Amino acid sequence: MAKNLLPSASSQRFFARGVNTREFIPLFVGRGRLARHLVHFFKSSSLPYLQFSDARAIGAKAEYFANIASASTHVWLLVSDKALEPVQAEVLRLMPTAQILHSSAATKLAGATTLHPLMTFSTEVYARDVYSRIPWVTFDDEPTVQTSFGNVTSIPGSMRIKYHAACVMIANFSQILWSAAEGLNPVLPTHAWGPILRQTLENFLVQGSKALTGPLVRGDQATVRAHERALEGSREADLYASFVKYFQNGGSYHDHRT
């Protein structure tokens, strides 16, 4: 039976199966996109959690925050990168021994543990099984954490920024590329690109960089030059040229995992 240990409020919510000191019971601090996804995941999975939505109100509601934080195993800061340090300082002022988590791969926070989801999050929440498949990344130069969910992998702390750059390139740059490519042929509806996008991704996941096909791999310079002429004068011309240059300089066709 679920046991509510603390009063609920519109900005502070609690859900638990009951307290077990060996369980992972995070206190989510924040109300952004990732916070909404994590609350949905934990609630739909019947995992215990607490939430204090307004990080700016920690000082004003110090007694309440200390009370709710004391029922958690970790305080998980789900705020912007620039807010991490001041919010952490406020939490530690009230709870000096609190174990702090955050999810910014781009920011190292002294004394805290990064728990970064290798996933992109839209404005809409996902089905529960999507969250269950998310890999979570930590860094070996930070305190360890034992969670009750997901697949957690630790990587060298020295790789932090390159890892984050890789996440941006895979999840963000790819969408810029897709949008640019789609714009070259506005006659086709967006969903028409679905099969080739999905199969390209599947091929990459199975074969790595060896899955690359097309005129660059074939050495078809005539087709490459035809593309360059067709794109001349457009913003897409520079984008296309950058990929050609990267490939010609030895990138993209060598699988570094083998």
Question: pLDDT (tens digit, 9 = 90+) per residue, 85-116?
Answer: 999 999 999 999 999 999 999 999 999 999 99
Residue 194 placed within a domain: yes
Domain enclosing residue 106, as ranges:
12-157
Q: In the predicted model, is pLDDT for residue 209 greater than 60?
A: yes
Indicate whether 65 and 146 sit together in one domain.
yes
Can you tell me the mean pLDDT for 120-147? 95
Share of the chain above pLDDT 90, in %: 84
pLDDT of residue 149: 82
Indicate whether 20 and 128 sit together in one domain.
yes
Measured CA to CA, the distance from residue 185 to residue 228 in angstroms comes to 16
Each residue's pLDDT tens digit, 21-38: 458 999 999 999 999 999
Q: In the predicted model, is pLDDT for residue 245 greater than 60?
A: yes
Q: In the predicted model, is pLDDT for residue 3 greater than 50?
A: no
Indicate whether 25 and 70 sit together in one domain.
yes
Q: In the predicted model, is pLDDT for residue 55 greater than 60?
A: yes
Q: Domain total for the chain?
A: 2
Indicate whether 37 and 135 sit together in one domain.
yes
Indicate whether 93 and 192 sit together in one domain.
no
Q: In the predicted model, is pLDDT for residue 9 greater than 60?
A: no
Indicate whether 90 and 127 sit together in one domain.
yes
Indicate whether 92 and 139 sit together in one domain.
yes
Q: In the predicted model, is pLDDT for residue 254 greater than 70?
A: no
pLDDT of residue 23: 86
Indicate whether 105 and 225 sit together in one domain.
no
Choosing from 108, 139, 157, the residue where a domain stops is: 157
Overall pTM surpassing 0.75 (yes/no):
yes
Indicate whether 47 and 153 sit together in one domain.
yes
**The domain spanning residue 47 has which CATH number?**
3.40.50.720
